[in-house]
Chains A and B, each alone.
Chain A
Amino acid sequence: MTALTTFLEHYNYFITIFLMVSGLYIVIARGNMIKKLVGLSLFQTSVYLLYVAPGKIIGGTAPIFDRAYTVYSNPLPHVLILTAIVVGVATLALGLALVVRINEAYGTIEEDEIFSADGEI
């Protein structure tokens, strides 16, 4: 029973870890450069959840100041993650741009084909 309660109390962490590990797995296991980037994105997204979920305080409202409420959610994680999302988008965009260039240069975006074309770099 306690195991289940532990799980339920911390389910957001388990989701985080699941996303994290699957993202990392895709990055490592896939040879397609776009799929790798998708995995990377997934991996980064898991971090957003790690930050944002604990910011919620049970019974708290949106962090807008009002006399009627005394308990607010913590707004800081959201702000931080807003920045992280921007960074993530920029990384993804740059990564995709690189993949486009690689495709132009090599005619493929499969890693093994590129390595066989160029020799191990």
Chain B
Amino acid sequence: MFALSPEDLVVLALLIPAIAAVLIPLFHKSPNVREAVTLVAAALVALTVWSLLPLVLSGIRPSMKLAEPVPGVALAFAVEPLGMLFALVAGSLWIVNSIYSIGYMRGNHEPRQTSFYVCFAIAIAATMGIAFAGNLFTLFLFYEVLTLSTYPLVTHKATPEAMRAGRVYLMLLIGTSMVLLLPAIVITGVLAGTLDFKAGGILDGKIGAAGLSLLLALFVFGIGKAALMPFHFWLPAAMVAPTPVSALLHAVAVVKAGVFSVLKIIVYVFGIDTLARAGTTDWLVWAASATVIIASLVALRQDNLKKRLAYSTVSQLSYVILAAAILTPLSAIGAAMHIAAHAVAKITLFFAAGSIYTAAHKTEISQLDGIGWKMPWTMTAFAIGALGMIGLPPTAGFFGKWFMLQGATQTGQWLPVAVIMASTVLNAAYFLPIVFRAFFAEARPAYSLGAAANVDSDAQHDHGEAPWPIVLALSLTALATLALFFAPDVPLALAKLMVGG
């Protein structure tokens, strides 16, 4: 058959969703063909990234340079373990999400489905671009493409509320990236003379400790997608988007692109050792800790299920940043593991939320009493996802926290240890009551919720499970959450490769 070089695979991973984005509008008259295009593209992307995996594990590092708009600033790709992990997560979940999207979009009779699938495919292409970016410029380019392609998804409903959320989304993400990230990249380029990602960093000895800390701040806050407080507002706002968008993009692709970029920049631009020697990054530990705790506290007070999930995401993202800020190889492994674990767990939770909305038209947690018996699959998956968030075995979330704690205790950093402990308790406090309500609370009549009479009957109507594509998708991700606990080899191997060289 074809002999595809590793470089070809990298290009394919970007090209397939891009081509899908072109093909999808051609079939806007026949939805079945249109969805088939999405599914085939998703399957091909998954196939591509998975066939890239053994190569990367065996030490091959495909890289290429496509163009060089400014001398020293090239459009280049280079696969390294962390990017591989991110691409695997996003690429595999796209299939599941596509299945889910079909069920959700049709089940809810959403308008403008063609542009929805187009933007989604572009967003995936951009995510692949971020994962495989070989330098800061390429990363920045696809980072912006991701923002722009998800903007129409956030504003999909075109209601005044959605438009407002879209403005917040766009201004915050573009704003931080233009005003903070871009200058940081320019400064890095001027100082280091290169923008390439290199093991051990490129800034060693190029800048003083204070400057290093300042530059790191520009990067960390400039990457608004990482949702470090105070630049997290876009994430809850973006929850007005249809649930598949929240699930894949705002729980996986977009936010993970943020923390992935932060991790990648800390590891490959600054270098863990360089930062550790400078010793001026304590503020990042504090900022991330604060975000973890505050976001958890806010999540505790949200009644809207998606909002609670959003704040939980904000908090979980800062785990990754916190782990990176601990600046030990072990904690960096923890960060990488957490990227994968949180992805499958959080997408499960969002899938469940969308499932509830599709089947029962419920969005508030206080409406969920007893729903577990009506929607057993959905709520079981939700419970597994919740365990994953808390980090309890037997779910994937356990390993991330384990490595982070190990890294922190090894170097005697007790603040992160305390924060991780405290937030685990908080996670349990805002997730377990939902599960409890769903299974053990009596279904209350709707009037006690203060809803209007016609909603009343709607809330009372006898609903069962959501459409089968939705149930299938969320069962798959729930299974993955469990599977990652029993077979964490792939992410673990990649994470170890990342810190090892």
Indicate if A touches B (C-beta under 8 A): no
Residues of A within 8 A of B (CB): none
